[in-house]
Structure 1
Amino acid sequence: MEITTPTEELHQQLNSWKEEVNEVRNEVKMMRERLEQIALSKASRDVMTQVEHFENRLLREREVADEMHHDIKQCAKRVANTPVTVVHDDRPIDDFQTIQHRMEIFRKLYLSLKEEFNQFIPCEV
């Protein structure tokens, strides 16, 4: 089935994803700052092991967020270079469906990390 999607709708979706990725970047920054506070405290060895675990995961999360942000921007450029309306079979452009799928995975993995981090924080001392 062919669906016609105005380019403006695609841009709105892409901008929404960029905002979401930026929000994740900000939250990761705050989590890393919290880990620094814990690392400077006289926490137990077990807690410090967890701090290192989260430092590594947050570092990787930041890298993935940076990659997503870059790829979303590239997708937006491609959309901008297309005609006003894009005709597709559930795929407005070659990369849009891929970006959409990656955003779903990005959200899922980040929410899992955030939940695990929030469970760790109350009992870090």
Structure 2
Amino acid sequence: MEITTSPADLHEQINSWKGIVNDVRGDVKMMRDRLEQTVLSNAPRDVMTKVEHFENRFLRQREVADEMYHDIKQCAKKISDSPSQVVHDDRPVDDFHTMQHRMQIFQKLYEELKDDFNRFMPCEV
């Protein structure tokens, strides 16, 4: 089944993804700041091991967010270079479908990280 989607609609979705990625970046920064408070306290060694674990996960999450943002911008550029109406078979642009799937995974993994961190922090603050 062919569907016609305007680039404006696709750009709206892309802008939404950019916002999500930027929100994740901000949240990760806040979580790192909270984690830093644990480091500054004289926490036991087992807590410090968990701190290091979260520092590594936050670093990786930030790297993935940067990669996602770059790839989203590339997808937007590809759509900008396309005609005024994009005809597709449930896939506006090959990269768009891929980006949509990657965003779902990105959000799922981020939510898991945030949940893990929130379970860890209340016990340690």
Equivalent residue for 1:6? 6
CA distance in structure 1 between the partners assigned to 2:94 and 2:112 by the alignment: 29
Q: Partner letter of residue 103 of structure 2? A: M
1:49 paired residue number? 49
Specify the SS of the correspondent of 1:87: strand
User: Unaligned stretches of 5+ in structure 1?
Assistant: none
- Give the Å deviation of 1:46: 1.1
1:30 Cα deviation (Å)?
A: 0.6
Measured on the aligned residues, the alpha-carbon RMSD in Å equals 0.7
Counterpart code for 1:5: T
TM-score, normalising length from structure 2? 0.98
Structure 2: state its 5+ residue gaps. Answer: none
The equivalent of 1:63 in structure 2 is: 63
Tell me the matched-pair count. Answer: 125
1:124 to partner: Cα distance: 1.2
Name the structure 2 match of 1:81: 81
- CA shift, 1:35, in A, is 1.1
Instruction: Give CA deviations for 1:85-106 in whole Å, capped at 9, x if unaligned.
Output: 0000111112000000000000
In structure 1, the residue matched to 2:109 is: 109
For 1:39, the aligned partner's letter is: V
Measure how far apart 1:53 and its partner are: 0.4
* TM-score, length-scaled by structure 1: 0.98
Report the 3-state secondary structure (helix = DSSP H, G, I; strand = E; otherwise coil) of the residue aligned with 2:94: coil
Whole-Å separation in 1 of the counterparts to 2:34 and 2:104? 27
Partner Cα distance (2:68, 2:28) in 1 = 15
How many percent identity over aligned positions?
70
Deviating beyond 4 angstroms after TM superposition, the runs of 4 or more aligned structure 1 residues are none
CA distance in structure 2 between the partners assigned to 1:80 and 1:124 by the alignment:
48
In structure 1, C-alpha distance between the alignment counterparts of 2:34 and 2:79, rounded to whole Å:
39
- SS of 1:95's equivalent in the other structure is helix
Deviations 1:69-92 (A, max 9, x none): 000001001111111100001111
What code does the residue aligned with 2:120 have? F
